[in-house]
Amino acid sequence: MQIATPEKIFCQKPVQVYALTQINTPSQLEISTLTNNAVHLVFIDSGIEEYSVLLEGLLPEYRGFLLDPDKDGIEQISYLLAKFKDVQSLHIVSHGSSGCLKLGSSSLSASNFDQYSATLERWSESFADGGQMLLYGCRVAAGQAGAEFIQCLYERVGVAIAASSTSIGFFAKGRNWDLDTRTSDFIPRLALKRLTFQSYKHVLMDEIAPIIENVAALALLSTGADTYTFTVTYYDETGLDLTSFDSSDITVIAPDGTVLPVTLVSTDSNADGTSSTVTYSIATPGSMWGWDDNGTYSIVVNAGEISDTSGNTVSSGEIGTFSVSIPVGTIRIEAEDYLAGTNGVEYFDKSAGNNGNAYRTDDVDIEVTGDV
């Protein structure tokens, strides 16, 4: 297979930038020409907005690499990092959220550290004594998830780590470039020129809200039940906030406009928290579902209720419907439940008392039957 030679892109000399997207088979990449005095490495995820601004804004002594968005970013970094020795600082610029970094086609979080444990431990072999790792993703160190993430990474790589508990990026949006959370007392030196901080107009944060991947709501065709259940599957590439699921997520609107209360029944999430199927239920408007409940019911997701780990929430809107279509002929009419009243008006019976001696004690004859 023909191997494309790494080319300099988006750069102003003497900054050196190489594109991993041009490497068809990384295992065959000849990288010996890149190792001279390469002590500061910068990996930039090509999924971030205007990454060329950051590539062009690297300090002269920093070497930048652009991660292929269609390949595992952790493996890409691992392959190239293995070619270097005595690395003083490794910089990763990507979208982030609490306890998570988005890298190429993959994400790194506490939930999949075991999967990459051996790979991350090999990173330590490339660092010089006193090496540092700087993570530029938004809110990576925020909250308990962020603290656990930084600690897990430190335990595996064994170098000082700096990350941010706040949003990273454009100053005018109230963001900053302060890596305020560190595993030791050191001052991280950022890889970008001062003017780049001012000219970059984006935020290194996942800003895409979770999506509704599927709604499973079957038609109700028979009477007898007093509840109705349905499922909604949510997906978010970075990760869903599993604590955001509750009975306030969804509203069901009956054909006559009545709002029916919804109860969360259960959640079923995958290992990395990117997908969750949530089961909800509603109670029948009456004692049980019947033909008088027939019609189309709307399932509406409520604004701000479903969130991902970056704080993005789902907007309000109808996400599905289900129908109640119960034939009138299937309704069981309990004739013995007539209204008590006057003979000849509410009922008619020629004899006094209940000669069947069942169910009631007025003048209507009722007896137990074995026919139904």
Instruction: Work out the pLDDT band at 29, boundaries 50, 70, 90.
Output: very low
Computed over every residue of the chain, the mean pLDDT equals 81
Same structural domain, 190 and 246: no
Same structural domain, 188 and 316: no
- Residues 199-229 have pLDDT tens digits of 787 777 666 788 888 999 999 998 888 999 9
Instruction: Work out the pLDDT band at 23, boundaries 50, 70, 90.
Output: very low
Q: Is the pLDDT of residue 87 over 90?
A: yes
- In a domain? residue 337: no
| Cross-strand bridge partners of residue 212 | 234
Q: How many percent of the chain have pLDDT more than 90?
A: 40
Same structural domain, 192 and 135: yes
- In a domain? residue 365: no
Q: Is the pLDDT of residue 27 over 80?
A: no
Higher pLDDT pick, 357 / 182: 182
Same structural domain, 194 and 227: no
Same structural domain, 76 and 179: yes
- In a domain? residue 359: no
Alpha-carbon gap, residue 82 to 123, rounded angstroms: 7
Same structural domain, 243 and 294: yes
Same structural domain, 53 and 161: yes
Fill in the DSSP letter of residue 170: -
Same structural domain, 132 and 219: no
- In a domain? residue 351: no
Q: Is the pLDDT of residue 232 over 90?
A: yes
Same structural domain, 258 and 111: no
Q: Is the pLDDT of residue 347 over 90?
A: no
* For range 232-252, the mean pLDDT: 91
Residue 329: per-residue pLDDT: 61
Instruction: Work out the pLDDT band at 176, boundaries 50, 70, 90.
Output: confident
Instruction: Report the CATH number at residue 317.
Output: 2.60.40.10
Q: Is the pLDDT of residue 107 over 90?
A: no
Instruction: Work out the pLDDT band at 35, boundaries 50, 70, 90.
Output: very low
Alpha-carbon gap, residue 225 to 273, rounded angstroms: 33
Q: Is the pLDDT of residue 338 over 80?
A: no
Secondary structure (DSSP) of 328-363 = GGGPPP-GGGPPP--BTTTB--SSSS-TT-SS--SS
- What's the total number of domains in the chain? 2
> At which of 138, 171, 199 does a domain end?
199
Rg over CA atoms, the chain? 32
Alpha helices in the chain (DSSP H): 51-56, 73-81, 113-123, 143-157, 194-199
Secondary structure (DSSP) of 256-303 = TSPEEPEEEEEEEE-TTSSEEEEEEEEE-SSSS--GGG-EEEEEEEPT
Q: Is the pLDDT of residue 48 over 60?
A: yes
Q: Is the pLDDT of residue 37 over 70?
A: no
Domain hosting 311: range is 211-330
